[in-house]
Chain A
Amino acid sequence: MISVLSTNILSPLGASTEQNYRAVKEGRSLLEVHQDERGVPGSFVASLFSDEQIDALNVEGFTRFESLVIRSVQDALSKTDIDPASDRLIFILSTTKADIEELAAVESEDKNYSSPGRAAGKVAEYFGFVNTPVVVCNACISGVSAQMTALRLMNQGLYDHAVVCGADCQSSFVISGFSSFKALSPEPCRPFDIDRMGLNIGEAAATIVFSAKTSEGAWRLIQGSLTNDAYHVSAPSPSGEGSILAIKDALCGVDVNSLSCVSVHGTATMFNDQMESMAIQATGLSEVPLSTLKGYYGHTMGAAGVLECILTMCAVDEGLLPACRGFEEIGVSGKVDIVGESRPVSGESFLKMISGFGGCNGALIYSKGEISEKPAYKGGSATVSHHIFMDSKSVVLDGESLEVKGTGKEMLSQIYKSYIGDYPKFHKMDALGKVVCMASELLLRKENAAPDASRAVILFNNSSSIVADRAHIACICDMENYYPSPSTFLYTLPNIAAGEIAIRHGYKAETSLYILDRKDQKLMDAIVESSMRESSAGSVITGWVDCKAEDEFEVELSILNK
């Protein structure tokens, strides 16, 4: 377990955790109708920073996104006395699209685009952090994933402190994408309500500084779990299977009656809330008060998992759960106890749950009181059983060159026709998805074993989903020809590549994608090894999967068995 040293929330509602908690307690929200703003034609409802706030937050020499991260991290760090230059500190950034609004702007001017990895690198340089920063890019569950990464690395004794920041800025990129999924509510969202019509977008940054040392009375992140539904890339399993697996794993050894509340994802889409209600009922949590904060902030993407943990700590500290804003009448079939009006609550621990595109699910247990930790997993180092290297002109499988025809995109098509041929979904994938799919298929043909449902998929890269990002921008940059495509947008979440492998082969353990400013093998090994030691996953497909253009890629994947 690791303990919380300090926190910050920076949102349109305030610049500190205290200001934000006060706003929520008073029932305030800045979910408002915006008309023809941020490059989006028509109206949408969102919680956005005002122009004045954006100007005031700006840090000279940094982008809007980087400035937001810097301000949030700065406030959290200022309440501690830790040395930012310590080599025992790791900076973990949770974001879905980071500076993506810059991409369209700089393309025309041929300037450098600050990729998520570079943005994290610039923030690290600003504070003098010495270790390679880690970007967790796991769609909506990123904020919970990032906390799991911190927990595992610190449980392995690798760091004394972790600065975990979740942040996203909103622009036409994400708003148009969710709009093409018909996922946006035209009104302030209504989580779990019978009349819910979808989610609202929000922007925020939230930071938790963790210490490996536990101190009396401090909030502690006890344990958690990450899983995949292995069901569909953009729809949750209707039974909530992946979420159930994550909750059961996270709850192991915890008395559910001791939980103050469950902080759900509660996006207010039809599918998410229904699925979560099924998972809550199936895991015996129907009597535990259920809290959702989307009615105050909307969906803050990379910030959500961090922000919602912090505010739930505040609420449990005070013994008063805020009302589920927007909720009036129950509209889910699983038995749940929604906090319709703010209510007193006892206890000193809570469960955070979250789910996202790519089929990923996460669950965390926080406590500040007595709680029994689950027994440690049977660790042991994982060993490599098979390995593949693939770039745009060659493939080397277990040390032997594979004869290939053509290069780049053409080479991938040839591999598909020669070795797979019966998976038409391949043609629907973006460049990164195709590269990862073909490399993993060749690897698995070599392994030639029955699928291991307890297998994880942990991928790393530098270019995020740049090819899909450019394709999506091409769909929305011209107002006369503005037709955002849901399938193009989907692949701008690079973790989809990991989710595709899980879905094809029925892998139900963690699926993750990390973006690094530079390929740091030692750090990648530490992340994978700590995941293997700290989870019930029996094996993992892992490695570097970078795709800069349709014809420019480099992949190195291995299968590791415990």
Chain B
Amino acid sequence: MEELIRDLKEQIIDALNLEEITPEDIEDNAPLFGDGLGLDSIDALELIVILDKYYGIKLANPAQGKEIFKSVAAIAEYVAKNRTK
């Protein structure tokens, strides 16, 4: 799980162009939206692309993202259960 969390953080930083952020800056359980990293609606859609590209998870309904994208730990949990690659 630790490795998955580390990978996810790097993938998120890369896909969302979070230039000034390092994986260490992102806490596993900190909220990604709102106060946390301050991500917005396009970032949420980019997270859907990450799930598809690296883990073979297709999220048809962006509304599902609300729960899944709460924190990096929450994403990791979802990915571990649902990944196809």
Chain A interface residues (CB < 8 Å from chain B): 180-182, 232-235, 424, 427-428, 483-487, 490
Q: Which residue of the partner chain A has the closest CB to B53?
A: A483
- Residue pair A486, B42 in contact (C-beta under 8 Å): yes
Q: Which listed residue, A181, A424, A427, A485, touches B15 by the CB 8 Å rule?
A: A485
Give the Cβ gap from A233 to chain B, nearest Cβ, in Å. 8
Closest beta carbon of chain B to A24's beta carbon, Å: 31
**B contact residues around A487 at 8 Å (CB):** 16-17, 42-43, 45-46
Residues from chain A with Cβ under 8 Å of B17 in the complex: 427-428, 487
Kindly provide the distance from the CB of B59 to the nearest chain A CB, expressed in whole angstroms: 9
Interface members, chain B 37-64 (any A CB < 8 Å): 40-43, 45-46, 48-49, 52-53, 60-62
Q: A182: which of B16, B40, B43, B62 is its contact (CB, 8 Å)?
A: B62
Considering residues B18, B19, B52, B62, which has the most beta carbons from chain A within 10 angstroms of its beta carbon? Answer: B19
- Does any Cβ of A come within 8 Å of B20's Cβ? yes
In the complex, the chain B residue whose C-beta lies closest to that of A181 is: B45
The reply to whether A428 and B16 form a contact with Cβ atoms under 8 Å apart is: yes
Report A-chain residues with C-beta under 8 Å of the C-beta of B41.
Answer: 232, 234-235
Taking the nearest CB of chain B, how far is it from the CB of A40, in angstroms? 15
Chain A residues near B45 (CB, 8 Å)? Answer: 180-182, 486-487
Bound-complex Cα distance A486 to B16 (A): 11
Q: Which residue of A lies closest to B19 (CB)?
A: A427
The 6 A-B residue pairs whose C-beta atoms are closest, nearest first, are A427-B19, A486-B45, A427-B17, A483-B53, A182-B62, A428-B17
The interface bits of chain B over 4-36 (1 if a CB of A lies within 8 angstroms of the residue's CB, else 0) are 000000000001111110000000000000000
Alpha-carbon distance between A490 and B42 when the two chains are bound, in angstroms:
9
Quick check: B49 and A485 within 8 Å, CB to CB? yes
Known: A182-B48, A483-B52. 10 other contacts (CB 8 A): A181-B45, A182-B62, A233-B42, A235-B41, A424-B18, A427-B17, A427-B20, A483-B49, A483-B53, A485-B49
Residues on B close to A: CB < 8 A? 15-20, 40-43, 45-46, 48-49, 52-53, 60-62
Judging by beta carbons under 8 Å apart, are A180 and B40 in contact? no
Point out the residues of chain B lying under 8 angstroms from A234, CB to CB. Answer: 41-42
The complex places the Cα of A486 from the Cα of B46 at a distance, in Å, of: 7
A309 to chain B, nearest CB (A): 30
CA distance A487 to B60 in the complex (A): 18
Complex CA gap A485/B19 in Å reads 18
B contact residues around A235 at 8 Å (CB): 41
Least CB distance from A467 to B in Å reads 15
A-B contact pairs, 12 of them (CB 8 A): A180-B45, A182-B45, A182-B61, A235-B41, A424-B19, A427-B18, A483-B53, A485-B46, A486-B42, A486-B49, A487-B17, A487-B45
* Distance in angstroms between the alpha carbons of A424 and B20 in the assembled complex: 8
Give Cα A180–Cα B15 distance, bound, in whole angstroms. 14
State how many angstroms separate the Cβ of A135 from the closest Cβ of chain B. Answer: 26
Distance of A490 Cα from B18 Cα, bound (Å): 17
Among A233, A234, A487, find the residue whose CB has the most chain B CB atoms closer than 10 A.
Answer: A487
Chain B minimum-CB-distance residue to A490: B42
B35 to chain A, nearest CB (A): 15
**B18, B20, B49: which contacts A180 (Cβ < 8 A)?**
B49
| Measured CA separation A180–B53 after assembly (Å) | 12
In Å, the complex CA distance between A416 and B19 comes to 12
Residue of B nearest to A481 (CB): B53
CA distance A499 to B45 in the complex (A): 20
Q: CB-CB < 8 A to B49: which residues of A?
A: 180, 483-486
- In the docked arrangement, what's the CA distance between A390 and B1, Å? 48
Assembly CA distance A483 to B56 (angstroms):
11
For A233, the chain B residues whose CB sits under 8 A away are: 42
The interface residues of chain A lying within 8 Å CB-to-CB of B62 are 182
Partner of A232, one of B15, B16, B40, B52: B40
Q: How far is the CB of B49 from chain A (nearest CB, A)?
A: 5
| A171 to B77 CA separation, bound complex (whole angstroms) | 37
A320 to B4, CA, bound (A): 61
When distances are taken between beta carbons in the complex, the residues of chain A under 8 Å from B40 are 232
CB distance from B19 to the nearest CB of A (A): 4
Q: How far is the CA of A233 from the CA of B40 in the complex (A)?
A: 11
B37's nearest neighbour on chain A, judged by CB, is A424
Closest beta carbon of chain B to A322's beta carbon, Å: 32
Query: Nearest CB to that of B60 among chain A residues?
Result: A182
A483 — nearest CB in chain B belongs to which residue? B53
CA distance A182 to B49 in the complex (A): 11
The residue in chain A whose Cβ has the minimal distance to the Cβ of B59 is A182
Whole-angstrom distance between the alpha carbons of A113 and B17 in the complex? 29
Report the minimal beta-carbon distance from B64 to chain A, rounded to whole angstroms.
11
Assembled-state Cα–Cα distance A94/B43 (Å): 29
Give A490 to B49 CA distance when docked, in angstroms: 15
Q: How far is the CA of A222 from the CA of B23 in the complex (A)?
A: 56
CB distance from B38 to the nearest CB of A (A): 8
Chain B residues, Cβ within 8 Å of A483: 49, 52-53
